[in-house]
């Protein structure tokens, strides 16, 4: 029996690579993103290459009620979602006093509200069936505060905390919730967040979206609660517990400041 995965933010980066990984396993897909033309192209490519079925939904998931609209559409099409991957999200780089509220408002809606609503809607059916997997994409940013990306870091801390709690609630019901926490990744995220000049990424060789996607997908299948990609990322994420929070914030600020 084919498992159907719904993947948000599937038109590029980690989301696109996750779609390829799932398709390579013979699973059907529901792909959601703003850029429908990219999804059309991806649908044609995956269906031809892997002989699977791909249903696409062009949707701005930062908009109110967008998760409900997607859920209603999959329900009306009688598509059972076996795996839910909440990958869509974005960040912004700059001092909080200088960044745009409109962008941060969209960020909170997408990174937190839509992710939470999707989880609520599809999790109920999974629990009723006694099977299902959810992967919520957070970040190593979830483990500490992030000066120059204050709102983004806070949204990812929410994703981690929320996902761990819900996983605990449903893990005895045949359902798992995995939190994927990649570090800086070669995915187009940095350009969208205007952080190409940050010391965190400038001149660095970053892991590819494909590497992160393959790691995250395997962790989801295993039902791992928290999956931190990369040994150094794992060590850094866990080391924050050993040092004063004030010091960690200062170090994070230094790592993220623009290269002069």
The pLDDT value given to residue 259: 53
d(CA 98, CA 172) in angstroms, rounded, equals 46
Give the ranges where 135-203 is alpha helix by DSSP (H).
150-170, 189-192
- Which residue bears the tokens 């590819």? 208
Name the token pair of 91.
Answer: 């960040």
User: With contact defined as beta carbons under 8 Å apart, do 11 and 37 qualify?
Assistant: no
The CATH T-level fold of domain 4-256 is Rossmann fold (3.40.50)
Element holding 119 (H helix, E strand): helix 115-129
Each residue's pLDDT tens digit, 20-34: 999 999 999 999 999
- Torsion angle of the four alpha carbons 43, 49, 52, 58, in this order, in degrees rounded to the nearest 10: -10
Name the token pair of 238.
Answer: 């866990």
User: With contact defined as beta carbons under 8 Å apart, do 190 and 203 qualify?
Assistant: no
Q: How far is CA 85 from CA 18, 78, 142, 176, in A?
A: 9, 19, 18, 12
pLDDT confidence tier of residue 255, bands split at 50, 70 and 90: confident
d(CA 161, CA 24) in angstroms, rounded, equals 31
Domain range summary for the chain, segments of one domain joined by +: 4-256
Name the token pair of 60.
Answer: 């701005």
Each residue's pLDDT tens digit, 132-151: 999 999 999 999 989 999 99
Name the token pair of 239.
Answer: 């080391």
d(CA 141, CA 233) in angstroms, rounded, equals 10
**Number of neighbours of residue 130 by Cβ within 10 angstroms:** 9
pLDDT confidence tier of residue 212, bands split at 50, 70 and 90: very high
Share of the chain above pLDDT 70, in %: 87
Q: Which residues pair with 4 in a beta bridge?
A: 28
DSSP state of 12: S
User: With contact defined as beta carbons under 8 Å apart, do 141 and 229 qualify?
Assistant: no
Q: Is the pLDDT of residue 231 over 50?
A: yes
d(CA 139, CA 90) in angstroms, rounded, equals 11
Q: Is the pLDDT of residue 187 over 70?
A: no
Q: Is the pLDDT of residue 58 over 50?
A: yes
């Amino acid at each position: 029996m084919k498992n159907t995965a719904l993947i948000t933010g599937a038109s590029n980066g980690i989301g696109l690579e996750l779609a390829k990984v799932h398709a390579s396993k013979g699973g059907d897909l529901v792909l959601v993103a703003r850029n429908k033309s990219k999804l059309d192209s991806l649908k044609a490519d995956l269906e031809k290459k892997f002989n699977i079925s791909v249903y696409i939904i062009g949707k701005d998931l930062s908009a109110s009620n967008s998760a409900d609209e997607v859920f209603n559409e999959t329900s009306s099409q009688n598509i059972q979602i076996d795996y839910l991957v909440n990958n869509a999200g974005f960040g912004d780089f700059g001092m909080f006093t200088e960044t745009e509220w409109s962008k941060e408002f969209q960020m909170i809606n997408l990174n937190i509200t839509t992710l939470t609503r999707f989880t609520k809607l599809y999790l109920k059916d999974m629990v009723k069936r006694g099977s299902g997997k959810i992967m919520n994409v957070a970040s190593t940013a979830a483990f500490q505060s992030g000066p120059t990306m204050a709102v983004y870091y806070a949204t990812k801390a929410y994703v981690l905390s929320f996902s761990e709690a819900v996983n605990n609630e449903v893990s005895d019901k045949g359902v798992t919730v995995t939190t994927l926490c990649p570090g800086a990744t070669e995915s187009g995220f940095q350009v969208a967040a205007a952080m190409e000049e940050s010391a965190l990424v400038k001149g660095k060789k970053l892991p590819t979206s494909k590497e992160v996607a393959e790691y995250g997908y395997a962790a989801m299948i295993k039902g791992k609660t928290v999956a931190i990609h990369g040994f150094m990322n794992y060590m850094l994420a866990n080391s924050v517990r050993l040092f004063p929070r004030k010091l960690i914030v200062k170090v994070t600020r230094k790592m993220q400041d623009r290269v002069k």
